[in-house]
Chains A and B, each alone.
Chain A
């Protein structure tokens, strides 16, 4: 089965100024540096990593909102048309986005019903009364009440606003939703409501998600597959339960071990220092500056994603060495 969305060796580089004044120089910021993935219809790919790892940029590339510097995005086997072109606009009905901050994504001067129906207006779908009916019905499916149609964003709670944003994204019947930290701004009890809603919608409507988050627990809850990014590259990819239960890449292991838990204690790998800047990516394996297992090879040779026995892929020179398991 061909994937719904496929990223092939995506790069997105920006040229930036470094320093200031007389000594200002130019550098290349490698926001996304060779990322490939596939998302099948009705499935969820979770994209995790820390700030600056390129996960949000990857989300924008997935929608064609920004063009890649090289590589390509394919939707249903076809190359993604250029942003702004009529073909791209037609496609956008099927590819929608949900951001972290629902208040920022909504217009505070418009009633929410109008905003939910707006994509239908933009895409010229249906007559006025039909748009209203569709907005009301999608409101119900995300757990909003019909009488809230005329409410304004400030009259709703954070969780309800995120439902409005979801309803607006869903009204054009998209096949893929890119969710960039969709629940990070919500309280714990509300997060669970939205997570359950996303899972229900997927089951009912068969939507695929590219779910971007720094929260590993939430990502595991919603994802079939997961990809872990570090400095613009995917360092590990595979089945979500498997990757988080038995992380293989030293970075994934550190990331998983850094999650504070309520229950049992696990090994904790404490990384030193901050991640390097994506404008100054270390040579070789970009993680070698913080990796407790780095060797001379890691400092000079870029590791590529290699398939492992259990089906996952890991970009680490030393992943097959059983000795590493004993060290930690």
Chain B
């Protein structure tokens, strides 16, 4: 984080126009990512965790208004001409999604689709592209790669399709891979294979990664640093071990307390009451205040600023929760 960041997001805001209504999906996010670093983004549906990165890459539809700054190696991406963005997407920054089969073209063979990515991003001719496609499938652990190049996506399992997507993402030799819930649709044993593959690829290539997930376990095991988002805002950010051992924001504490464990004594889960606010009707002040057992009247009216609470540990909470104390042990939380 001390070296020049690979990507720096400053005060990023995304508004969606819905007729006369404007709903704010992302509200003033600031994040940095160093080369080769792995950053996890955690949050529930509607937290803005995916929209942040779609906005950064200029992939949102026209009704989305994006403000703020996203710099890749110092070059501004917000408002950049389409041609410049096209040179970034796939080449410098690649993205993979939850459902690989919807991202692959069903009427083209795997080999053709990989070849297209290689011609586009690397300018390889047919013969070189064929050889490289084979090497990529091999790199992502697909056995019998030559035969698979002739397969259509529907002939492959979900796990194999996700491997193909990763191969396509690697085709441009990107500096950053944004993986949006890459294993959510997969079974547990296949998820473990894919996460293992991503680790191996990063070890070999030094590629940075943003791992977006609702699964705290997946994030904990696969990234260096974690950012927690809630209702469009960044609520806490820290190195993974620090965040999971000493969470300071009531929402992060709540997410961890709501997670059942696989071993040890069974305890009653702490359930965060209420639901995530709708983007159209966000509470004033702290967005989490209506669900927070530690909220006071200041939380209801004044948005908390993000501030440092320890080395590399930031949180936006008025209450400045002491490390080691969980607000979910307050009597109010047990209601």
Contacts and interface: CB of A to CB of B under 8 A. Distances in A.
Nearest to B156: A274
B162 to A, nearest CB: 11
A196 interface: yes
Contacts of A9: none
A199 B260 CA distance: 13
B307 interface: no
Interface in B297-315: none
A302 to B, nearest CB: 22
Interface in A258-281: 258-263, 265, 268, 270-272, 274-275
Contacts of A265: 221
Nearest to B191: A258
Contacts of A275: 187, 189
B262 A189 contact: no
B49 to A, nearest CB: 12
Interface in B241-257: 244, 254-257
Contact of B259 (A159, A193, A262, A272): A262
B68 to A, nearest CB: 26
Contacts of A82: none
A188 B259 contact: yes
A260 B244 contact: no
B260 A187 contact: no
Contacts of A272: 193
Given A157-B275, A187-B276, A188-B258, A270 B244 contact: no
A256 B262 CA distance: 8
B321 to A, nearest CB: 18
B157 interface: yes
Interface residues of B, number: 42
A218 to B, nearest CB: 6
B256 A187 contact: no
B145 to A, nearest CB: 15
Contacts of B190: 50, 274
A274 B196 CA distance: 15
Interface stretch (B10-18, B20-28, B265-273): B265-273
Interface string A231-265: 00000000001001100000000111111111101
Interface residues of A, number: 42
Contacts of B254: 189
B262 A216 contact: yes
B215 A260 contact: yes
A220 B262 contact: yes
A193 B271 contact: yes
Contact of B188 (A159, A191, A199, A216): A216
A274 B162 CA distance: 13
Nearest to A195: B269
Given A187-B276, A188-B255, A259 B188 contact: yes
B269 A274 contact: no
Contacts of A258: 188-189, 191-192
Given A187-B214, A196-B271, A274 B220 contact: no
Contacts of A218: 260
A interface, by DSSP: helix, strand, loop or mixed? helix
A261 B271 contact: no
Interface string A181-219: 000000111111101100100000000000000101110
Nearest to A190: B275
A261 B260 contact: no
A297 interface: no
Nearest to B188: A258
A50 B260 CA distance: 19
A196 B268 contact: yes
Q: Tell which of A157, A193, A272 has the most Cβ of chain B within 10 Å.
A: A193
Interface in A266-324: 268, 270-272, 274-275
A262 B44 CA distance: 17
Interface in B198-252: 214-218, 220-222, 244
Given A187-B44, A220-B266, A260-B218, A254 B189 contact: yes
Contacts of B272: 189, 192-193
Contact of A259 (B217, B258, B271): B217
A307 B193 CA distance: 32
B136 interface: no
Contacts of B160: 274
B261 A217 contact: yes
A51 interface: yes
B263 interface: yes
Nearest to B44: A187
Q: Tell which of A158, A195, A221 has the most Cβ of chain B within 10 Å.
A: A221
Nearest to B278: A157
Contacts of A158: 275
A189 B188 contact: no
Nearest to B230: A189
B143 to A, nearest CB: 8
Contacts of B266: 220-221, 241
Given A261-B217, A265-B221, 10 more contacts: A187-B45, A187-B214, A189-B258, A189-B271, A193-B273, A214-B188, A241-B266, A259-B188, A260-B215, A260-B221
Interface of B: 44-45, 157, 159-160, 187-193, 195-196, 214-218, 220-222, 244, 254-263, 266, 268-273, 275-276
25 contacts: A159-B275, A187-B44, A188-B44, A188-B214, A189-B254, A190-B275, A192-B258, A192-B259, A192-B272, A193-B272, A193-B273, A195-B260, A217-B260, A218-B260, A221-B260, A255-B189, A258-B191, A260-B218, A260-B222, A262-B244, A262-B256, A271-B189, A271-B192, A272-B193, A274-B157
3 tightest A-B contacts by CB? Answer: A260-B217, A192-B258, A50-B187
